């Protein structure tokens, strides 16, 4: 079920984040090692990044390895913070660009790796938790992840930090439904992520922090994040791994 990556550090070309490494994000699209229930992540992809404090995105509803134009553009765009996601669509949801992540709310980017079990039975309650979607157009996408994003965005509007918004979302939704709830978010100066039912790895370097569903290379600095954890990271404090 999908793969995602978050990066925070010195500006790097998007190409390095998406295509570099023997187990790059592109490679994980057609040969993932740790996903559950699927062999491909070929139902779309997206990259979000920051320049001058503004969040930009590129999203498509096609396999990432088929988009030669993005591969070229990725060489020319560098950013100090980015979120990359590749998608394996859950049965019942369309393969559509609006469902490709990351989603965006202001300067925050969001990605969900996982699924909500029995979504139809809890959708109405999730919409109650999400509240007014007018301020977050991406939350209207026809996919379960969009309502998780809407709930997180509501917490952020109410004053929650990036990490607190994700943690509160997972706690609320797991009270209603089972599923896999690996969430990832960025705001340009920090990253946050949750692990609930799927893999996540953390790599801390002297000047950078990486979060990824699977290690991009054999570097032993990649460390598995325990299931049921919340990760909050910024360059001043490093990364903190806390129980959800």
Contact predicate 43/76, CB 8 Å: no
Q: Name the pLDDT band for 1 (thresholds 50, 70, 90).
A: low
Segment 232-237 shows an average pLDDT of 95
Could you give the CA distance from residue 177 to residue 157 in angstroms, rounded to a whole number? 24
Q: What is the pLDDT of residue 7?
A: 98
pLDDT tens digits, one per residue of 84-107: 999 999 889 999 999 999 999 999
Kindly give the interhelix angle for 119-130 and 144-157, rounded to the nearest 10 degrees: 20
Backbone angles phi, psi at 172, to 5 degrees: -65, -45
Catalytic residue list contains 2: yes
Q: What is the pLDDT of residue 179?
A: 96
pLDDT tens digits, one per residue of 111-166: 999 999 999 999 999 999 999 888 899 999 999 999 999 999 999 999 999 999 99
Please, what is the average pLDDT of the chain?
96
Backbone angles phi, psi at 103, to 5 degrees: -80, 160
The residues pairing with 48 across neighbouring beta strands, listed in sequence order, are 57, 83
In three-state secondary structure terms, 49 is strand
User: Is the confidence at residue 222, as pLDDT, over 90?
Assistant: yes
H helix runs in 136-191, sequence order? 144-157, 162-174
Q: What is the pLDDT of residue 233?
A: 98
User: Is the confidence at residue 37, as pLDDT, over 70?
Assistant: no
Residue appearing with tokens 């490679």: 27
Backbone angles phi, psi at 166, to 5 degrees: -70, -45
């Amino acid at each position: 079920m999908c793969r995602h990556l978050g990066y925070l550090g010195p500006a790097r070309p998007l190409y390095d984040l998406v295509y570099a490494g023997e187990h790059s994000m592109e490679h994980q699209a057609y040969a993932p090692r740790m996903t559950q229930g699927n062999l491909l992540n070929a139902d779309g992809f997206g990259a979000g990044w920051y320049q001058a404090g503004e969040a930009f995105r590129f999203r498509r509803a096609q396999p990432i390895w088929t988009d030669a134009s993005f591969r070229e553009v990725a060489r020319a765009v560098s950013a100090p913070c980015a979120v990359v996601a590749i998608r394996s669509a859950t049965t019942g949801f369309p393969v559509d660009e609006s469902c490709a992540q990351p989603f965006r709310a202001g300067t925050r980017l969001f990605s969900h790796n996982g699924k909500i079990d029995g979504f139809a039975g809890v959708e109405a309650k999730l919409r109650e938790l999400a509240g007014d979607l007018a301020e977050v157009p991406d939350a209207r996408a026809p996919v379960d992840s969009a309502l998780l994003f809407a709930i997180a965005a509501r917490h952020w509007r109410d004053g929650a930090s990036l990490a607190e918004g994700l943690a509160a979302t997972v706690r609320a939704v797991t009270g209603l439904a089972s599923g896999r709830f690996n969430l990832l978010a960025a705001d340009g100066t920090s990253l946050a992520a949750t692990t609930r039912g799927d893999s996540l790895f953390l790599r801390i370097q002297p000047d950078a922090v990486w979060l990824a569903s699977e290690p991009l290379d054999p570097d032993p600095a990649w460390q598995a994040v325990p299931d049921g954890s919340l990760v909050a990271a910024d360059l001043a404090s490093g990364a903190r791994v806390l129980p959800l």
